[in-house]
Amino acid sequence: MPKTSSIEESLRAVAGPQNLRAASGADAVSGFLPQFVAEPDDKHQLAAVLSLANEAGITVVPRGGATKLDWGNPPQKADLILSTARLNRIVEHVWADLTVTVEAGCTLQSLQNTLAQHGQRLAFDALWPERATIGGVLSTNDSGALRLRFGALRDLIIGVTIALPDGTLASSGGKVVKNVAGYDLPKLVTGAFGTLGVITRAVFRLHPLPRAAKTFSFTGENYLAMQQNILAIQDSHLAHTSLQIRCSSCEFPAADILFEATDVGLAAQESHLRKLLGSTRVEQSSGNVWNARQDLWNSPTNSTLLAKISLLSTDIAKTLGSLESLCDSRKLELRIVLQATGIGMLRLAGDLDQVAAAVELLRSELQSRSGAFVILRRPLELNSMDAWGNAGDSVSLMRAVKHQLDPKSTLNPGRFVGGI
């Protein structure tokens, strides 16, 4: 790396003196302290800073609201934080076309507030919406309970602009909901953890806010009974928006179901649900149950690990059973929120060696059944564990894509699958 002072001068010249500062402890990434933080004013300045860093051989960590900055593997190197904080405008909300163009640094909540003025929403629930930015939720492919009905961000994004390490600003997709011209790069950068380019703006399709909504909850005597009820609901004519299971050590599993419809429609759905579940007691509950996923993240200790799991619905009972017995025998505290999409978030706490061993066992069990186990947040002591697990036979193709867009591994080196 060239001399720090000359780099700093160049960065300052490109970003503007007011937009570059030395990093402080609060800017650390998984224990790594970068040297600088740049907060460019617009996408052109962002691309220029990125390109300068790329040429100078300094590594870059893109950052939105920093709510998920420690997800993925720790970086091999992290010299410069490239913040999208100032790219926070809602460029265009064409409510009559149900689309919005928004800059990457805008928080999800501020976007939703604007959309709500016209009775619309981005049909997507992320963790910490008041701080999480559009660029950040896209890059980490976060998704919540609304995914069952509306899909993930990959299904809602219709256009994107990214800055590449060589300074190229490239757009793909467009502003219309239906469009097959060119490659679907919005999907490529969704979930890429900022390793291919820095997202500067995105275009989304929107949905109307529901006219009315109701949540119901029920418990299951055991995991198998719960799985049977989940499968029965999924196989029914119910038109639910969300369906999740909540479990923690030593409690009966509980499930929540959300309906969004007209008042007439809601009444019909409720009676259909009660009929379908027969003797299982169904109670109306408050919308707060949908915070359960985020609540897993509250007051973490030095011994807490959080992970995302993927599985098939028919493996719900088996997986929950294994989890419970693993945690029992290793004296781990377990909490899990599992969506009917098969995506779950789990929290393990206890002796770190036991946590690490449980992760390995669960991962290999899930992978053997077409699933996945990805570590999101872990204590620094477990930093050497791979966050991702087996990414299959397409890793060399992924490396080739990375090499085409970021040949010098300037962006987030080492954080993604297969050492990317």
Partner 1 sequence: MDARIFQELRSIVGAHGLVSSPEELHTYECDGLTNFRVMPLAVLLPSDTQQVQAIVRVCHRERVPFVARGSGTGLSGGALPVENGVVISLARMNRILEVDLPNARVIVEPGVINLDVTGRVQPHQYFYAPDPSSQSVCSIGGNVAENSGGAHCLKYGFTTTHVLGLEVVLPDGSLVHLGGKALDMPGYDLMGVFVGSEGTLGIATKVTLRIVKRPECIRTLLAAFPGTNEAGAAVSDIIAAGMLPAAIEMMDNLAIQAAEAAVHPNYPDCGGLLLVELDGPVAEVEALMRDVDEICCKNGAWEVRLAQTDTERMLVWKGRKAAFAAMGRISPNYIVQDGVIPRTALPRVMSEIARLSEESGIRVANVFHAGDGNLHPLVLYDRRIAGQEQAAESLSYRILELCLEAGGSITGEHGVGEEKKRMMSKMFSEPDLDTMQRVRCAFDPLHLSNPTKVFPTPRLCGEKAGEYVAHPLETAGIAERY
Helices 263-277, 223-234: axis angle to 10 degrees equals 140
Residue 303: both structure tokens together = 């011994």
Determine the 3-state secondary structure of 190 from DSSP. Answer: coil
Determine the 3-state secondary structure of 86 from DSSP. Answer: coil
- Of 77 and 272, CB closest to partner 1: 272
Q: How far is the CB of 139 from partner 1 (least distance, A)?
A: 12
Q: How far is the CB of 357 from partner 1 (least distance, A)?
A: 21
CB 147 within 8 Å of CB 339 = yes
Residue with token string 């915070």: 291
- Of 13 and 267, CB closest to partner 1: 267
Q: Over 56-80, what HEC string results?
A: HCCCEEEECCCCCCCCCCCCCCCCE
- Of 169 and 224, CB closest to partner 1: 169
- Of 154 and 408, CB closest to partner 1: 154
First to last CA, the chain: 20
- Of 64 and 371, CB closest to partner 1: 371
Q: How far is the CB of 118 from partner 1 (least distance, A)?
A: 9
Q: Where are the alpha helices (DSSP H) in 121-160?
A: 134-140, 147-150, 153-156
- Of 195 and 215, CB closest to partner 1: 195
Q: How far is the CB of 83 from partner 1 (least distance, A)?
A: 23
**Quick one: DSSP state of residue 192?**
S
Q: How far is the CB of 388 from partner 1 (least distance, A)?
A: 4
Q: How far is the CB of 316 from partner 1 (least distance, A)?
A: 10
**Quick one: DSSP state of residue 312?**
-
